[in-house]
Amino acid sequence: MLLSSQKRYSKKEYQTKNKYPKYIPFDENFIWYWDLYFETGLIQEKLSRRNKITLVLDLDETLIHSNQIRLPGLNYDFTVSLKVKEAQTMFYVYKRPHVSEFLSQISKWFNIVIYTSSVQEYADPIIDFLDPNGYIKDRLYRCNCEQMSRNWIKDLSCVTNNFKKCVLVDNSPLAFSRNWKNGIQIKTWFGNPLDRELVKLLTFLDALRSLKDVRHILEYRKDWN
């Protein structure tokens, strides 16, 4: 029963005015209120993202390769211009084989984050090109890394405080040396058009995504091969 101070809404009013209603009146129409509450997809999306593992991906030599010189026998996929030492420099960007299919599939399983040791001015145009469908939920750059000698160390505490459900895929094991139990090393890619490492990685990630704590598996593996 509705209290006198509570307004009875029609189903149409709820559909048009309250896609995510804060209060659902409990009366004989409670069932459809509840259905509407879930039909919006907002709750499912929130719960789904909260329960998914966060998959953190490196960019250069993991998903793409870029070079100031065009690779012989290969067509580049994208170009990005960046000021280097006061001079505007063109980079030719090549997508790793199967990267588009890879991102599409893992977006169904994980919350995807790009964590690159490159500067934002260089990385953002490439990520935008790689991900026209918006699969990638967050981005971190060189400013989020720690430099050690000539290497860049990535700190997963910049991404999440739940290390049970976080994986970093990088071609450099030094990148995840601070969180080595969360790291997967993938083979470095410099342009081999026959490369299938992302396809092979999918099989392992498919098994990994159901774990309550990914570290129970990853701490015993030097790499996923």
Q: Determine contact, residues 159/140, Cβ cutoff 8 Å.
A: yes
Q: How many CB atoms lie within 10 A of CB 101?
A: 12
Exactly one of 27, 35, 60, 170 is catalytic; which is it? 60
The answer to whether residue 58 is catalytic is: yes
Report the b/e string of 28-64 with b at 16+ CB within 10 A: ebeeebeebbeeeeeeeeeeeeeebbbbbbbbbbbbb
Exactly one of 27, 58, 213, 223 is catalytic; which is it? 58
User: What span, in angstroms and rounded, lies between the C-alpha atoms of 138 and 136?
Assistant: 6
3-state secondary structure (DSSP) of residue 31: helix
Q: Which of 205, 202, 48, 63 is nearest to 131 (CA)?
A: 63
The answer to whether residue 131 is catalytic is: no
Q: Could you list the active site residues?
A: 58, 60
